[in-house]
């Protein structure tokens, strides 16, 4: 058999050709894989988007719920809201006795601590009145949406002024004493009215204003 002799240029050409084929194959494989990955990513993105777009509604409630007018967990109820539907014992604890006069309590008196404590706004709103009363001490009134009004009485110190806008939890003052209920010590008498009618604060906490209006 006659041997085929290749000159150097031919050998170089073959090597270059083989290398080009190998590189082309690798490039095509990478391109195919990249295209596949891009397709999968696009399909995954589209699928996830559909999960959020197909009539799914957010469960996050952006409305504020009514909080208590204090943050100190040691604060206790001293006097209850007078409710003619409640039992006799509860009604007795909701009567204020001042100078032989009996007054039905329109709110709840909170206190029971040896020292004062922060009093906070239970909802966002606007301070409509800051005044001092001989019997009730310093009083702050805040107007909220949907004709809901909160009143904070027996304050010893006030940190807001009329016209201020407050957020939920804004400190509006410190608990103090009143001549109407001296035996309670440092406390705050908290009232809520809806459309001009006093309601029991205990029935309002953790509810939105809309829920309050629907009751």
Q: What is the pLDDT of residue 96?
A: 75
Question: Cβ(198)–Cβ(192) under 8 Å?
Answer: yes
Supply 119's token pair: 């009093």
Q: What is the pLDDT of residue 109?
A: 95
- Shared domain check, 163 and 112: yes
- Shared domain check, 175 and 206: yes
Q: What is the pLDDT of residue 49?
A: 46
Q: What is the pLDDT of residue 102?
A: 75
Bridge partner list, 1: none
Q: What is the pLDDT of residue 92?
A: 74
For residue 73, give the 3-state DSSP assignment.
Answer: coil
- Shared domain check, 180 and 96: yes
Distance CA 142, CA 193 (A): 11
Task: State mean pLDDT over 12-26.
Answer: 56
pLDDT digits (tens, 9 = 90+) for 110-142: 999 999 999 999 999 999 999 999 999 999 999
CATH number assigned to the domain comprising residue 210:
2.70.70.10
Which of 139-143, 155-159, 166-170, 182-186 has the weakest average pLDDT? 182-186
- Shared domain check, 109 and 210: yes
Q: What is the mean pLDDT of the chain?
A: 80
pLDDT band at 101 (very low <50, low <70, confident <90, very high): confident
In a domain, 153, yes or no: yes
Give the CA distances from residue 180 to residues 133, 157, 177, in Å, rounded to whole numbers and listed in that order: 10, 17, 9
Distance CA 63, CA 146 (A): 13
Determine the structural domain holding residue 39 and report its residue range. Answer: 1-57
- Shared domain check, 49 and 5: yes
Which of 17-21, 69-73, 155-159, 203-207 has the weakest average pLDDT? 17-21
Question: What are phi and psi for residue 81, nearest 5 degrees?
Answer: -75, 135
- Shared domain check, 110 and 147: yes
pLDDT digits (tens, 9 = 90+) for 22-70: 555 555 555 455 554 544 444 444 444 444 445 554 444 467 899 999 9
3-state secondary structure 7-48: CHHHHHHHHHHHHHHHHHHHHHHHHHHHHHHHHHHHHHHHHH
Q: With residue 152 as reference, give the H or E element that holds it.
A: strand 148-158
Which residue, among 174, 97, 95, has the nearest Cα to 140 in the 3D structure? 174
- Shared domain check, 89 and 188: yes
Q: 152 CB contacts (<8 Å, ≥6 apart)? A: 69, 119, 139, 140, 141, 142, 172, 173, 188, 189, 190
Say whether pLDDT at 214 is over 60.
Answer: yes
In a domain, 186, yes or no: yes
- Shared domain check, 31 and 115: no
- Shared domain check, 94 and 9: no
Number of domains in the chain: 2
Which of 34-48, 136-150, 177-191 has the weakest average pLDDT? 34-48
pLDDT digits (tens, 9 = 90+) for 64-91: 899 999 999 999 999 999 877 777 777 7
């Amino acid at each position: 058999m006659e041997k085929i002799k290749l000159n150097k240029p031919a050998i170089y050409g073959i090597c270059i050709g083989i290398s080009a084929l190998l590189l082309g194959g690798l490039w095509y494989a990478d391109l195919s894989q990249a295209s596949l990955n891009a397709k999968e990513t696009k399909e995954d993105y589209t699928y996830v988007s559909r999960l959020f777009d197909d009539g799914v509604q957010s469960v996050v409630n952006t409305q504020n719920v009514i909080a208590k007018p204090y943050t100190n967990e040691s604060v206790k109820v001293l006097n209850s809201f007078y409710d003619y539907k409640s039992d006799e014992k509860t009604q007795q604890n909701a009567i204020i006795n001042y100078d032989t006069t009996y007054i039905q309590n329109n709110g709840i008196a909170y206190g029971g601590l040896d020292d004062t404590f922060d009093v906070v706004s239970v909802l966002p709103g606007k301070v409509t009145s800051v005044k001092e009363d001989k019997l009730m001490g310093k009083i702050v009134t805040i107007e909220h949406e949907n004709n809901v009004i909160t009143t904070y009485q027996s304050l010893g110190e006030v940190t807001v002024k009329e016209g201020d806008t407050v957020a939920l939890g804004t400190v509006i003052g410190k608990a103090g004493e009143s001549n109407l209920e001296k035996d309670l010590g440092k406390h705050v008498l908290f009232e809520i009215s809806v459309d001009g009618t006093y309601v029991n604060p205990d029935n309002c906490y953790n509810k939105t204003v809309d829920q309050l209006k629907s009751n």
